Amino acid sequence: MAETILILGGARSGKSRHAESLVEQAGGRLVYLATAEARDEEMRARIREHQRRRGDRWQTIEEPLDLVAALTKHAAPECAILVDCLTLWLSNLMGAGRNVDGEVANLVAALPNLDGAILFVSNEVGMGIVPENALARSFRDQAGRLNQQVAAAADRVVFVAAGLPLVLKGPPPGELDP
């Protein structure tokens, strides 16, 4: 059964760990679709930590921009895909000058046609102070709209704070639907 789950939270909230545990419980082929690009040593260290934690059971696919194409290519009934993360994807799109609204619309339109479980991790960035500069405000606003649109299309939405999942939409957070 196809299921789409959005897992939201702040930085270091435990959202990626929670998503990884759900995907591992699903069994079958485990795919980690990474949107991050290792542009500095801090990001390289974060990527290494995520890879170490996942181990070798996962197939990693790196795709910073063409998320819909990667999902379409790899989604399958026997597969669970974890996309980590939507906010880095958004940042990549903005940095590349891509049409964010169009890309998000394409993603949301593709979701009902994808087989298997698709889990998205995304940062909730709109709960803090209003950013000082226009680019940061634009990113915050775009991230909020992206999260709203994916949440509307998702079967389940979970907010993670301090490592604890709170279900906002759908069944309890224990496992993927069979």
**Which of the residues are catalytic?**
50
In contact, 121 and 86? CB cutoff 8 Å: yes
Q: Is 154 exposed, middle or buried (0-12, 13-18, 19+ CB in 10 A)?
A: buried
The one-letter amino acid at 4: T
In contact, 129 and 144? CB cutoff 8 Å: no
Residue 101: CA atoms inside 13 Å, Cβ hemisphere, count?
Answer: 2
Q: Is 17 exposed, middle or buried (0-12, 13-18, 19+ CB in 10 A)?
A: middle
